[in-house]
């Protein structure tokens, strides 16, 4: 029985790159021009995260802060912009004076908003209106134990209140916490082998409890069961360098390629749509600063209808792509 299971895992690891290498059909997505609607004379800073809850789109950006991690200077401007998913109208904003380098944003089933800060080594939990509920980690202190992070990148909250944290730029590990914040287990180390990471940059968890990790610098998506057991990986020129992940209706996943970023300039950007078996069904987008193009695309989210939202670091914007 164990041998058969190992064969299935090995088959997934071998077949996935072949499936992903196949030519993808044209996607059924179009950019929504004029979305969102910013107030007059308003600009977003470098946009690093995006999440959707109900009819609202939460965009995380860095204002005028930049990415200098040497100083614990807080971003003075609001960094969370909440837009109406349909009209693109700005509904509210919050988060001023709280973050150093805000990085990832995700929303649980209860509507609570999770934000990682790679500048302060902290993970935050808020209400949808921006009321602080909890902080994990120690401000400005990096570490590799159960109560510290080293530039954490993303959170994947689960319906039972437990959550995974991708940690991140420094520690190359994935951690699972109970609802009360107690560390349950962790896996990963820096490397290129199965279950190792070089910047676990984004997380997604499907209905079966499988954990998808955007292993950014290793140019692959790794797949694990809920306990961290390695199941396989997806790697191909179509996927490129995965920065973000978003689960879609119909057992599909969107994989965001942010480019290889030689000397801080990406050589490619795009979105790949695949089944949860790794089979590519669509790919769209390219490097550029026009509508429908990307310039260091950093994160992706999907709404219940399957529409996609993509944020750019260098482009300093969020775009909506309708099915």
Counting DSSP H helices and E strands in the chain, the numbers are 1, 24
Return the pLDDT at 265.
67
Return the pLDDT at 229.
98
Which positions of the chain have pLDDT values less than 50? 1-24
Return the pLDDT at 93.
97
Largest CA distance in the chain: 64
Return the pLDDT at 26.
53
Return the pLDDT at 190.
97
pLDDT in tens, 65-120: 755 556 789 999 999 999 999 999 999 999 999 999 999 999 999 999 999 999 99
DSSP H/E element including 231: strand 230-234
Return the pLDDT at 22.
43
The string of DSSP codes covering 46-111 is -EEEEEEETTEEEEEE-TT--S-TTS-PPP-S--EEEEETTT-BEEEEE-TTT-SSEEEEEE-TT-
Contact between 35 and 309 under an 8 Å Cβ cutoff? The reply is: no
The string of DSSP codes covering 113-142 is EEEEETTTTEEEEE-TT--EEEEESBTTB-
- Domain spans, the chain: 2-322
pTM, rounded to two decimals: 0.91
Return the pLDDT at 105.
98
Topology of domain 2-322, CATH: Neuraminidase (2.120.10)
Q: Give the whole-angstrom CA distance, residue 24 versus residue 279.
A: 9
Q: Give the whole-angstrom CA distance, residue 275 versus residue 206.
A: 12
CA-wise closest residue to 198 among 185, 178, 214: 214
Sheet holding 317-322, edge to edge: 30-31, 317-322, 308-312, 297-302
Tokens of 239: 């996927």
Return the pLDDT at 120.
96
Q: Give the whole-angstrom CA distance, residue 312 versus residue 60.
A: 11
Sheet holding 242-248, edge to edge: 242-248, 252-257, 270-275, 280-284
Q: Give the whole-angstrom CA distance, residue 267 versus residue 286.
A: 9
């Amino acid at each position: 029985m164990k041998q058969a299971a190992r064969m299935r895992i090995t088959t997934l690891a071998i077949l996935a790159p072949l499936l992903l290498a196949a030519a993808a059909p044209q996607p059924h997505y179009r950019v929504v021009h004029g979305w969102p609607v910013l107030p007059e004379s308003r600009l977003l800073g470098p946009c690093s995260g995006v999440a959707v809850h109900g009819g609202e789109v939460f965009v995380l950006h860095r204002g005028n802060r930049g990415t200098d991690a040497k100083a614990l200077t807080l971003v003075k401007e609001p960094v969370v912009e909440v837009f109406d998913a349909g009209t693109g109208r700005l509904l509210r904003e919050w988060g001023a004076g709280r973050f150093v380098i805000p990085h990832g944003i995700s929303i649980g089933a209860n509507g609570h908003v999770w934000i990682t800060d790679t500048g302060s080594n902290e993970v935050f939990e808020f209400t949808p209106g921006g009321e602080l509920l909890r902080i994990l980690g120690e401000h400005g202190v990096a570490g590799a134990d159960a109560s510290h992070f080293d530039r954490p990148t993303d959170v994947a909250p689960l319906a039972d209140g437990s959550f995974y944290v991708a940690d991140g730029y420094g520690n190359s590990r994935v951690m699972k916490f109970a609802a009360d914040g107690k560390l349950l287990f962790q896996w990963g180390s820096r490397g290129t082998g199965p279950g190792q990471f070089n910047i676990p940059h984004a997380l997604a968890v499907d209905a079966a409890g499988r954990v998808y990790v955007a292993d950014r610098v290793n140019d692959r998506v790794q797949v694990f069961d809920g306990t961290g057991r390695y199941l396989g990986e997806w790697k191909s020129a179509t996927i490129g360098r995965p920065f973000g992940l978003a689960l879609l209706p119909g057992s599909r996943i969107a994989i965001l390629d942010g480019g290889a970023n030689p000397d801080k300039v990406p050589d490619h950007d795009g979105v790949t749509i695949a089944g949860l078996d790794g089979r590519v069904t669509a790919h769209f987008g390219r490097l550029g600063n026009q509508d429908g193009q990307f310039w260091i695309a950093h994160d992706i989210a999907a709404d219940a209808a399957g529409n996609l939202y993509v944020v750019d670091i260098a482009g300093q914007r969020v775009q909506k792509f309708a099915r």
